[in-house]
Amino acid sequence: MGLRVVRDPTPRALAVPCFADDPGDLVRLGIDAEQAGFSGFFLWDHLVHSDSGVGPPIVDPWQVLALVAAGTSRIALGTMITPVARRRPWKLAKETTTLDLLSNGRVILGVGLGAPAGEFSLFGEPAGARHRAELLDEGLDVLAGLWTGEPFSYQGKHYTVGPVAFAPVPVQHPQRMRVWVGGELPATGPVARAARWDGFVPIHRDRPGGQATPADISAVRDRIEELRGTTANFDIAVWGGLDTGQVTAALPAYSSAGATWFIESPTSSRPGWLDAVRERISRGPEVQSPRG
C-alpha cells in the first residue's frame, strides 16, 4: 500500500483537554502545534469534568492560552467551548480582551451550554438546559456590548449592566472577535443561535464519535444561509477525532459541503490522550492518507 500526502485547503485546529498536573505541558502543545503548521489551538474549558465532584486534574485555560500567545505569532487561540452560563460575562470580556491583546488579534471564542451539568450543580448553580441557554444568549449580548469600548447598558432577565465603558478594546475592533457556537445536532436551536454570531461547531449525537457527516454540514450551511441570507464570513467547523488519514481523505467532501475548519480533539480524556496529541502534532496537519 502506497502513501500520498493530501494538501489540506481547510485550516486544521487542535482542541485539547485543559487537564494537566503541569500546565506547562499544555503550553508546549500549543507552541508545538504552531511550529508543526496547525492553524488553531483551543482548550476545553472545565472545572471538574464530573458529576460526582471527583474528576481529572484541571488547570485554567485562559492562563495557559496567555503563555501560548506569548510563545507563538500566527496560530488562532481560544476555548472550545466556554460555558458562558457559569462565567460572569463582564469577567469573560476582560479575559478575552486581554488574550486578544496578548496574541495581537488571534482569539476565537467558542461558546456553548457546557457539560457535564455537575459543573453547575456541584457549585449550587442552576443546571437546567433552558436556564443555561438563557444565560448564554444574554451573556453573549453583554460580551459584544462590552467589547465595543463604548458606553454600554443592558437590562435582561438575568443580567443588568451599566452604563459602563470597558477599556482597552480588543485588537479585533471595531469588528469584534469571532464567536463560534458549539451545539448538538439534530436539534435546531444551536444552529439558530450560531447564525447570530460567526461560526458553528456541530456535534451530532447520532454519529460515531459525534462527528457530523458532509451531508450534515451541507444541511447546516443551507440553514445558516436561510437564517442569515448568506454564509459569507461565517465558519462551519467539523469536530472530529485525531486524524490518522481518513479525515484528510474526506476533507474535499467536507469543504464542498461548506466546512471552513476541521477541529481535531482526543476522543477520550483517559490517561494517554496527551501522548496521542503529541504524536498527532509530530505528523503535522498534512496527514498521509492510505492509497491502495
Write out the DSSP string of 183-211: EEES-SHHHHHHHTSSEEEEEETTSGGGP
Q: How far apart are CA 261 and CA 39, in angstroms?
A: 9
pLDDT recorded at residue 7: 42
Q: Which residues contact residue 149 at a Cβ distance below 8 angstroms, ignoring those fewer than 6 apart?
A: 165, 166, 167, 168, 169, 173
CB 15 within 8 A of CB 39: no
SS3 218: helix
> Per residue, what are the HEC states of 97-148?
HHHHHHCCCCEEEEEECCCCCHHHHCCCCCCCHHHHHHHHHHHHHHHHHHHC
Q: Which three cell numbers mark 82?
A: 466556554
The domain ranges of the chain are: 11-282
Report pTM: 0.94
pLDDT tens for each residue of the chain, 292 residues long: 333 334 446 899 999 999 999 999 999 999 999 999 999 999 999 999 989 999 999 999 999 999 999 999 999 999 999 999 999 999 999 999 999 999 999 999 999 999 889 899 999 998 999 999 999 999 999 999 999 999 999 999 999 998 999 999 999 988 889 999 999 999 999 999 999 999 999 999 999 888 999 999 999 999 999 999 999 999 999 999 999 888 888 899 999 999 999 999 998 888 899 999 999 999 999 776 555 4
Instruction: Work out the angle at residue 286's Cα, subtended by the Cα atoms of residues 285 and 287, and round it to the nearest 5 degrees.
Output: 95
Q: CB count, 10 Å around CB of 122?
A: 17
- How far, CA to CA in Å, does 8 sit from each of 247, 248, 260? 11, 7, 11
Q: How far is CA 13 from CA 1, 5, 16, 201, 241, in A?
A: 28, 18, 10, 12, 11
93 touches 147 (CB < 8 A): yes
Distance CA 255, CA 162 (A): 43
Q: 262: helix, coil or strand? A: strand
CA dist., res. 176 & res. 36, Å (int): 28
Q: Provide the pLDDT for residue 246.
A: 83
With respect to CATH, is domain 11-282 assigned 3.20.20.30? yes
The helix or strand, by DSSP H or E, that contains position 260, with its residue range, turns out to be none
- Residues 242/266, Cβ–Cβ less than 8 Å: yes
Asked if the bond preceding 83 is cis, omega within 30° of 0, the reply is no
Supply the pLDDT for residue 288: 64
